[in-house]
């Protein structure tokens, strides 16, 4: 990979935010050489005094232990872009446990959890704020797509092991040079030019998950693949690099992708990057598929809004939508090696879905409709609704089932029926099922109406009290 870059300097703010006195109208410092004073000012203006003080405190504690601390990765990227940062990540050049322990001893109310297997720690502040600490490390990939061998390293090594230039920047928290900006690969300049660039030519071969990570970043921050990086992507695909990746690692990345709010844009990009085959054959009618995906996302939201405590794997809904118009075997071969517990249900739903509209239209009683909906998994149900407008009878019927019918139970249970003289066994099961149907159809509503119904059906003798 060459390191040719677009011209570095222009007079725009570094990362235009439109509402930040820091950036507005100030001449841009040469990218990669942001002065510490400017970084300190950004931290203060964008993250506030309280967080700035916390970073100062950790920097002091780490320096006292002789283990410099740096703000790294996505936090630096988010700071420069003035985006809210979900996690604040620190890299420590030394013993993480010692730094975390000292922070918890010296900083009032701060709790530390150390994870020896990863050499990482979490600092938890009394107000719920959390900081992640990891040891700076060197990574070596023994084989393409294998997990890396890891050993302790310094901040430079820790930056070169990273995925993209925009994630390979650091800010020193050392009291001597707090705010020093480390940007050895030109991440700030790439951010400024909306470019996604890997750090070295073997990056995608070492770790193909970076391709999907990159796609997510490209969608999230509207980035373009830098020319050499695009070439490296094509090379990696020509070498069928995903075939070497474990199903578990591939599924993890695909699940993140499917969870993106902006999934339609991500799927468009998946096509542009020649990656459809990871999920399915390239669709002939992309727009129609994206419309169904949007509807599916809408139904997932609807579900969470009405059943907030109930688990639903949104990715399973979206996969079902994605696989509706491809041969069943396309889904089956992927699910064969992705560790997805819902896989069996998805395959079952894909068989059932085509029959559903006709069966629903024919269903004469509410109990028959409910049994039809029951034959699908939750994701399968939502995937079917996504094929119709929100106001369609099918969507309405499915929503009615979930809201009104699913929770209905028979007023009499097995014990009640035995107390009434019915023998245990399969016959009892059938009676219970008929009672449930009668409840769904509105023929019974409580124990007494159920008892009378049993008499009318000849299941109980009329003289029963």
Binding site for ligand ATP (CB under 6 A): 73-74, 86-87, 89, 162-163, 167, 207, 209-210, 213
Instruction: Determine contact, residues 112/92, Cβ cutoff 8 Å.
Output: no
Q: How far is the CB of 252 from ligand ATP (least distance, A)?
A: 11
194 CB contacts (<8 Å, ≥6 apart)?
A: 221, 222, 223, 224
Nearer to ligand ATP (CB atom), residue 130 or residue 354: 130
Residue with nearest beta carbon to ligand ATP: 74
Give the largest CA-CA distance in the chain. 95
- We find the least distance from the C-beta atom of residue 364 to ligand ATP, in angstroms, to be 51
Task: Choose between 73 and 264: whose C-beta lies nearer to ligand ATP.
Answer: 73
Cα–Cα distance between 218 and 235 in angstroms, integer? 19
DSSP letter at 430 equals: H
Instruction: Please report how close the Cβ of residue 139 comes to ligand ATP at its closest, in angstroms.
Output: 8
- Closer residue to ligand ATP, CB minimum distance, 87 or 441: 87
DSSP 279: T
Q: Which is nearer to ligand ATP, 193 or 213 (CB)?
A: 213
| DSSP annotation of 260 | -
- Looking at residue 323, the DSSP 8-state letter turns out to be H
Give backbone dihedrals phi and psi of 16, rounded to 5 degrees, phi first: -65, 125
Give the number of other Cβ atoms within 10 Å of residue 284's Cβ.
8
Quote the radius of gyration of the chain (alpha carbons, Å).
Answer: 29
- The nearest distance, CB 162 to ligand ATP, in angstroms, is 4
Q: In angstroms, what is the minimal distance from the CB of 188 to ligand ATP?
A: 14
Q: How many CB atoms lie within 10 A of CB 224?
A: 13
The distance of closest approach from Cβ of residue 207 to ligand ATP in the complex, given in angstroms and rounded to an integer, is 5
Give the strand pairing for 224-225 and 195-196: parallel
Shortest distance in whole angstroms from residue 51 CB to ligand ATP: 16
Cα-Cα end-to-end distance for the chain: 88
* Strand intervals (E) in 83-232: 88-92, 111-115, 120-124, 130-135, 137-140, 149-152, 170-172, 181-182, 195-196, 224-225
Of 356, 427, 349, the C-alpha closest to 392 is 356
CB of 260 to ligand ATP, least distance (A): 11
Q: If we measure between CA atoms, which residue out of 288, 379, 375, 372 comes closest to residue 325?
A: 288
* CB nearer to ligand ATP: pick between 55 and 440: 55
> Phi, psi (5° rounding) for residue 419?
-65, -25
| Nearer of residues 150 and 291 to ligand ATP, judged by Cβ | 150
Closest distance to ligand ATP from the beta carbon of 122 (Å)? 13
Query: Closest CB to ligand ATP among 125 and 141?
Result: 141
**Residue (5 or 83) nearer to ligand ATP, CB:** 83
* Nearest alpha carbon to residue 233 among 202, 190, 264: 202
CB closer to ligand ATP out of 81 and 367? 81
């Amino acid at each position: 990979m060459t390191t040719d870059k677009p011209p570095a300097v222009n007079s725009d703010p570094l990362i235009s935010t439109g509402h930040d006195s820091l950036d507005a109208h100030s001449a841009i410092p040469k990218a990669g050489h942001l002065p510490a004073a400017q970084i300190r000012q950004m931290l203060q203006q964008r993250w506030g005094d309280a967080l700035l003080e916390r970073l100062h405190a950790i920097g002091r504690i780490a320096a006292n232990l002789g283990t410099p601390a740096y703000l790294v990765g996505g936090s630096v990227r988010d700071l420069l872009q003035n985006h809210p940062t979900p996690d604040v990540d620190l890299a420590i050049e030394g013993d993480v446990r010692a730094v975390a322990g000292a922070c918890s001893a010296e900083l009032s109310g701060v709790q530390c959890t150390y994870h020896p297997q990863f050499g990482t720690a979490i600092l938890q502040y009394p107000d719920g704020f959390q900081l992640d600490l990891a040891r700076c490390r060197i990574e070596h990939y023994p084989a393409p797509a294998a997990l890396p061998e890891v050993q302790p390293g310094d901040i430079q090594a820790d930056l070169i092991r990273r995925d993209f230039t925009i994630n390979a920047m650091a800010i020193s928290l050392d009291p001597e040079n707090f705010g020093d900006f480390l940007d050895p690969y030109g991440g700030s300049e790439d951010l400024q030019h909306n470019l996604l660039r890997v750090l070295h030519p073997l990056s995608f071969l070492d770790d193909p998950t970076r391709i999907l990570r990159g796609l997510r970043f490209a969608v999230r921050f509207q980035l373009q693949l830098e020319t050499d990086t695009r070439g490296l992507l094509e090379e990696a695909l020509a070498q069928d690099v995903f075939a070497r990746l474990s199903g578990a690692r591939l599924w993890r990345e695909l699940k993140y992708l499917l969870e993106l709010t902006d999934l339609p844009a991500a799927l468009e990009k998946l096509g542009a990057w020649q990656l459809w085959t990871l999920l399915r054959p390239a669709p002939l009618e992309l727009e129609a598929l994206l419309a169904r995906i949007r509807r599916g996302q809408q139904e997932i939201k609807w579900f969470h809004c009405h059943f907030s405590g109930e688990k639903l794997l949104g990715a399973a809904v979206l996969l079902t939508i994605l696989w509706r118009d491809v041969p069943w075997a396309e889904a089956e071969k992927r699910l064969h090696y992705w560790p997805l517990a819902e896989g069996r249900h998805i395959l079952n739903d894909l068989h059932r879905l085509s029959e559903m509209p006709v069966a629903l239209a024919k269903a004469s009683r509410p109990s028959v409709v409910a049994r039809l909906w029951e034959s699908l998994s939750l994701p399968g149900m939502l995937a079917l609704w996504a094929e119709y407008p929100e106001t369609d009878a099918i969507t309405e019927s499915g929503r009615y089932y979930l809201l009104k019918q699913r929770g209905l139970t028979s007023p009499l249970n097995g014990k009640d029926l035995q107390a009434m003289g019915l023998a245990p066994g399969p016959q009892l099961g059938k009676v219970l099922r008929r009672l449930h149907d009668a409840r769904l159809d509105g023929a019974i509503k409580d124990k007494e109406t159920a008892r009378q119904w049993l008499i009318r059906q000849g299941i109980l003798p009329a003289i029963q009290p």
